[in-house]
């Protein structure tokens, strides 16, 4: 939600919509494939889970670096929020999403695999659509308080540090 909030603040709600929809679809797809059994493979192969954590951590640190360096008060035409595809792909290496999806399978264990996939995908996508929309709106409203370059720099660096902290938490 850190990236969604930062995107809402920096680019506005409208330009953050592809990011929001990408997250909602991405987590839905992960939940679906977990429901049909892919999650069992990740659980059975700890090395695969560790590789996912490494990839996610590196990607998160790269994003934190870019937020740290960002100067939204002096945006360029080439500055863009996450695209739909980038948001979907990020969910595939997000171990938090995998962990929650794996945990959720316990609640639908009595369902057939396809039914598990449908229930988990629709639940995850719906919840994430609402949550991401909330944080994007909050970020866009926050931009009204960020009235000078120093305020923007402080905000973006706080968001960057939060991402760095999250990348460390992946391994705990």
Q: Tell me, what's the pLDDT at 75?
A: 65
Q: Tell me, what's the pLDDT at 86?
A: 94
For residues 160, 86, 9, 101, the Cα torsion angle rounded to the nearest 10 degrees is -80
Asked whether the whole model's pTM tops 0.85, one would answer: no
Integer-rounded Cα Rg, in Å, for the chain is 17
Closest by alpha carbon to 4, among 22, 15, 20, 24?
A: 20
Contact 19, 4 (CB under 8 A): yes
pLDDT by residue (tens digit) across 135-158?
Answer: 999 999 998 898 888 888 898 899
pLDDT by residue (tens digit) across 100-134?
Answer: 888 788 788 888 889 999 999 999 999 999 999 99
pLDDT by residue (tens digit) across 49-95?
Answer: 788 788 878 888 998 998 898 876 566 666 789 999 999 998 988 87
Distance of CA 25 to the CA centre of its chain: 11
Contact 120, 64 (CB under 8 A): no
């Amino acid at each position: 939600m850190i990236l969604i909030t930062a995107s809402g603040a920096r680019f506005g709600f409208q330009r953050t919509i592809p990011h929001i929809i990408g997250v909602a679809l991405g987590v839905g797809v992960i939940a679906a494939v977990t429901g049909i059994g892919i999650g069992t493979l990740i659980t059975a192969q700890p090395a695969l889970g560790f590789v996912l954590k490494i990839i996610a951590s590196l990607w998160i640190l790269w994003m934190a670096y870019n937020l740290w360096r960002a100067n939204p008060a002096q945006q360029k035409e080439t500055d863009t929020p996450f695209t739909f595809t980038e948001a979907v792909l990020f969910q595939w290496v997000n171990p938090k999403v995998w962990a929650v999806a794996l945990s959720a399978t316990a609640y639908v264990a009595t369902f057939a695999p396809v039914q598990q996939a449908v229930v988990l995908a629709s639940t995850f996508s719906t919840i994430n659509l609402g949550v991401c929309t909330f944080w994007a709106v909050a970020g866009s409203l926050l931009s009204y308080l960020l009235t000078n370059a120093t305020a923007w720099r402080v905000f973006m660096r706080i968001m960057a540090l939060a991402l760095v902290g999250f990348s460390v938490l992946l391994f705990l």
